[in-house]
Structure 1
C-alpha cells in the first residue's frame, strides 16, 4: 500500500476536490452572457440540488398550517413544536446548505464553506444577538441575526473564501496545507462576515425599512407598486423581515396592517409566473417542477418557485416584478387590511384579512397571479429539451451540464 495515500486523500478533501460531475450552471456553463444572467445562473445552480428538500419541507409546513386552520395540533404544543422543527429546519439552516452547494460549484472545500455559514448559528451567539443588547467585539459591531439569512451575503463570503483558500493552497508548503489552509480561511472570512459585511447589510436593511415605512405613510399606492415588484430582491438579500417591526406596531396601535397584503400579492406573482412556465414549457420534468413549486407558492412557500423556476429561467422574473407591482398597488389602492400576521403569505392567510376588505384581497391576489402568468406565457423563455433536462431529481443529482436548450415559441 502506498504510504502517502491517506495524506493525499486528506489534502484532496481540504482542497474541496471531488470526482462528481459539476452541477447545472457551473462556471463553465455560466461563462457567457451578461453579469446579471451569470449571477442568476449561479444562484439557480446553487439551489438546484437543495430543491427536493425544500419542496418536501414546504409540503410538511403546508400540512401543518392546514391542520392548524381546522383547530388541530393546538391541544399538544409539543407535537406542534416538533413538526414545525421538521418543516422549518431546512429554511432556518438554509444559508449553511447554500454555502456548501456554492463551494462545490466554486471548486472549494464544501465543509469549510459550511463551517463559515454555521458560525453565526451557534446557539450561544444567536442567544446573545437576540438578547436586545448591543453586541460588540473589540469595538466592532457584530452581525445582526437577520443578516445571517441573506443568501447574497453568504454567496459573497463563500466566493471570497474560495479565492482565499486557493491562494493559500498555492503558496503554503505541502506539509502545512492540512492545518494552515482551512484554519486561515476560517480566520480570514468569518471575521469579514461577522464584523464587516454583516453589520453593513444590517445598516442597509434598516435604511430600506425606514424608507419603505415613510413611503407607506406618504405614498401608499406607489409603495405597494415598489414593494410588490421588488419583494423577491428583499428575499434574496435576506431583508424580507425588515418591515416586521412596522407591521407589529401598526397592528398594536391601529388593529390592522397594510404592508403584509403587499407581501401576499408578491407571493402570488411568484406562483403565477411559475404556472406560466408550467403551461408554456414542453418539458415534462419542468412542468412537474413548476406545478409543485407553484402550488407551494400559492400556499405561501415561495422559495422553491423563486429559486427553482423563476430565477432558473430568468424571464419569468420580469413577470414576477410586474405582477407583484400591479397586485401590490391594488392592495394599497383598496387599503386592504390584515388583522394578524400569519406564518403564510398565501391562500392560508385569507382568514386573517378583515371582512370588509377580504374581497379586495382576493382581487389583488388574482391580479398578481394572472398578470405574472400571462406575461410569462407570452414572453416565453429558454426551455429545456425533455430528453436532456437539467431539472434535479429526487436523488439530488443533475443531468449533464452540457444539455441542449431550445427557445420556446414566442421567446
Structure 2
C-alpha cells in the first residue's frame, strides 16, 4: 500500500525556528494564512524555501510567493512583521515575479538593523497558504537552523496525492492575477488601510478613494460590480470571495487584516474625507450613490424580469387572438408564471438590496414578505377608507395610530430604503443586545422596526408624493396633450425607477374602466418603446458578449411592455443611454399627444399594437398614429444611443485604461 507523498520545506533564513503559534502576529499565529513556522533571523540573507516559480512579489518587497511545480503548494515568505510601512527600504530582491528558482537559491536580503530601528519585528514567517486544500499536516523542527536547512515536512492529503499521481492537479494561483489587478487599481498597496470581506464582497478601507479606478475594477473578469458604502470600497466577487480575499492578503500582507474597531475608525475618517464639500457636489454624489444602489439591487433579478416580461407579452397575444380566455385555468397558470416575480418583487429586492447595502439579506427578504402578505395586500386594495389625510385614504390603524396602507406588490424603492435603514439598525442592535440573545432578538427587532417604518411612515410619504405627481400629470395633460406628451414622455420612466409610476396606473385603469380608452396610456406606451429602442442599439453596437447577453432579452422585454430589465440592467447603469432613451420617449410622447393617439387596451409598447384598434370603428387614425409615433421613438432613441449613449469602453474600461506596472514586477 502506497504512502501519501511528503514534501520538504527549507528555512528561508538562518536563525531560530519557532512554531507558528509563537509568531507575534495573530493572523499568522492563529493559522489564518495556513500551516507554517516563524524564524527569528540572525542573518539578513533570504533563500528560496522550495523549488518552483515566483508567483508574487509585494509592491513593498516585504512578501514573496512561490508555487511548487509538482504539488502546486503555494508558499508565502513574509519578511518581518508590520514592515509594509517601511515601503520596501530594508529589502533588496534578486528575483522577479515569473522567475524559476531552486530551493536554497538566494532571493533577497533584509536589513535587520534598519527594521529594528523602525521598531518593527524582524521575524520571518513562512506559511503554506493553500495548506487546507493540500496538506494533512506539517511537522516543523524548531531550534537554531541555517538558511536552506530542511525544517518542515508536509504530508499531502489523499486528494492532492491521488490527483498528482493521475496528472490532474488544478491550476495553482487561480486568483493571483485578479488579486494583483484589484490591488493595482484601488490605488496600490500604499492606498489600502485595511481589508475585510463578507459573504460576497471584498471591503477595502482606502486612504483616498479617488485613486481607485472604478471602471477598471468593475470590469475585471471575476468582479461583478463595485459599491461604496460606509467608507468602504466594496468589490463584489460572489461565491469565490474567500479565495480572492486570501489571494489579496497573500499579496499585500496579513497586517492589513485590522480588527473591526480600527477598521471602523478608518472608515469614518475616509467617509468624512471623501464627502463632497459643495452643495451641488453633494447632490451629484447622493444621486449617483442612489442610482448605484438601485441598479445594483436590481441586477440579480434582471434576467427573471426579462423572462417574465416576454412571457407576459406572449400571454397578451394569446388573449388578443382569443387562444385562451382570461377566466381559463391556462390563463391563470401562465399569468402566475409571468407575474410572480413582479408581484413578489419586494422579497427579491429586499434580499439583493440588503446584500448591496450590508444588512441581513434573509431578514430583508422576510420584510418583503410582510409587505406582500395577503392580508396586507387586501387592506391596501380592498380595505375600507375611514378618512382622508393629504389626499390619501386612511384604511388602517396600528395600536390606534391611523395610517394609510399602500400596495407594495411590484414595488422597489420602499425595500431599498428599508435595506438602508436595516444596515444602520443592525450594527446598533448587535452592540446593545448580548451575544447569547442576538440570534433571536436582532431579527425580531429588525423585522418589527423596519416593517413598521415602511408601513407606517415611508409608504404614506411615498403615497402622498406619488398622488401629487399623478394629479400634476393629469393637470398638465388637460392643458395641452402635445406638451404633456413631451413632458410625461420624457420623465415617466424616471418615475418607474422610484416606483412612483404606480400612482399613475390607477388613473389609466379608471380611464379604461369608465370611458373604455386612455390617451395617457398611449403616451406611457411610447416610453416603453423608447427604452427598447435604446437597449436595442446597445445590443447591436456592442461587441461584448456579456452586454449582448443582457441587452437582447431586455430589448424583447421592453417591446413586450416591461422596461425594468432594459433600464436597470443596461440603460440606467450606463447613464447616457437612459438620457438618450428619455429623449426618444419625449419625442414619442409629443407625437402621441399631438396626434391625439388613443388606446383602448391596457397592454402597451409594441406587443400592445391591438390596444390601439378602436373596438367600435376598427382601425382608425389612433392605430396609424401609434405606428408613426413608435417608429419615430425607435429611430430617435436608437440613433442617439448609438451615437452618444453607449460605447464598449463604458463597460470594458480595462481595454482602454493605461497599463500600469504590475505589483509583481520590479524596476
TM category (shorter chain) comes to 0.7 to 0.9
Query: What is the CA-CA distance between 1:249 and the residue it aligns to?
Result: 4.2
> Residue 382 of structure 1 contacts residue 405 of structure 1 at CA under 8 Å; is this kept in 2?
no
Matching residue within 130, 133, 136 for 2:396: 136
Which structure carries more relative contact order (alpha carbon 8 Å, separation 6+)?
Answer: 1
Residue of structure 1 in register with 2:200 after alignment: 20
Matching of residue 345 in structure 1 with residue 595 in structure 2: no
Query: As a proportion of its length, which structure holds more helix?
Result: 1
Per-residue Cα deviation, 1:215-259 (whole angstroms, up to 9, x for no partner)? 111122111111111111221222323233433444455443210
Contact 2:379 2:396 in 1 (8 A): no
CA distance in 2, matches of 1:166, 1:41: 23
User: How far apart, in 2, do the equivalents of 1:76 and 1:254 lie?
Assistant: 23
SS at match of 1:25: strand
Question: 1:381 maps to what in 2?
Answer: 646
Q: Is the 8 A contact 2:529 2:630 kept in 1?
A: yes
Q: 1:241 to 1:171 in 2, by over 3 A?
A: closer
How far apart, CA to CA, are the structure 2 residues paired with 1:287 and 1:379? 18
Tell me: CA distance 1:367–1:406, structure 2 relative to 1, closer, same or farther (3 Å): farther
Quick check: 1:404 aligned with 2:654? Answer: yes
User: Taking structure 1 as the reference length, what is the TM-score of the superposition?
Assistant: 0.84
Does the 8 Å contact 1:169/1:181 carry over to 2? Answer: yes
Within 1, Cα distance between the matches of 2:409 and 2:608? Answer: 27
Q: Distance in 2 between matches of 1:255 and 1:182?
A: 48
Distance of aligned partners of 1:217 and 1:380 in 2 relative to their CA distance in 1, 3 Å threshold = closer
Over 3 Å counting, the alpha-carbon distance change for 1:295 and 1:406 in structure 2 is farther
Give TM-score, length-normalised by structure 2: 0.53
Q: Which residue of 2 aligns with 1:163?
A: 424
CA distance in 2, matches of 1:58, 1:249: 24
d(CA) in 2 for partners of 1:248, 1:112: 34
Instruction: Give the superposition deviation at 1:67.
Output: 2.5
Q: Is residue 2:528 matched to residue 1:264?
A: no
Distance (Å, rounded) in 1 between the aligned partners of 2:346 and 2:541: 32
SS of the counterpart of 2:225?
coil
CA distance in 1, matches of 2:637, 2:480: 24
Largest Rg, 1 or 2: 2
Shift of 1:19: 3.1
Q: Is the 8 A contact 2:302 2:564 kept in 1?
A: no
- 1:34 maps to which residue? 285
Correspondence 1:91 to 2:342: yes
Q: Which residue of 1 aligns with 2:313?
A: 62
Equivalent residues in 2 for 1:189-204 (5 A)? Answer: 189-204=450-465
Change (3 A) 1:254 1:57: closer
The structure 1 segments of at least 4 consecutive aligned residues displaced by more than 6 Å after TM superposition are 30-33
Q: CA deviation at 1:76?
A: 6.6
After superposition, the CA RMSD in angstroms is: 2.4
1:406 offset after TM fit, Å? 4.5
- Give the match for residue 325 of structure 2: 74
Which structure has greater strand proportion? 2
Q: Give the SS at the match of 1:37.
A: helix
Distance 1:406 1:103, change over 3 A: farther
**CA 229–37 in structure 1, closer or farther in 2 if over 3 Å, else same:** same
More deviation in 178-187 or 194-203? 178-187
Gaps of 5+ in 2: 1-196, 203-223, 236-270, 275-283, 386-394, 658-667
Partner of 1:395 in structure 2?
A: none
Distance 1:253 1:49, change over 3 A: closer
Q: Any residues of structure 2 matched to 1:296-375 within 5 Å, and which?
A: 296-341=557-602, 344-353=603-612, 354=614, 355-356=619-620, 357-375=622-640
Aligned with 2:424: secondary structure? helix
Structure 2 CA distance for partners of 1:256 and 1:76, relative to 1, 3 Å? closer
Structure 1 position 42, deviation (Å): 2.1
For the 8 Å contact 1:37–1:314, the answer to whether it is kept is no
Aligned equivalent of 1:239, options 482, 489, 500: 500
SS at structure 2 position matched to 1:300: coil
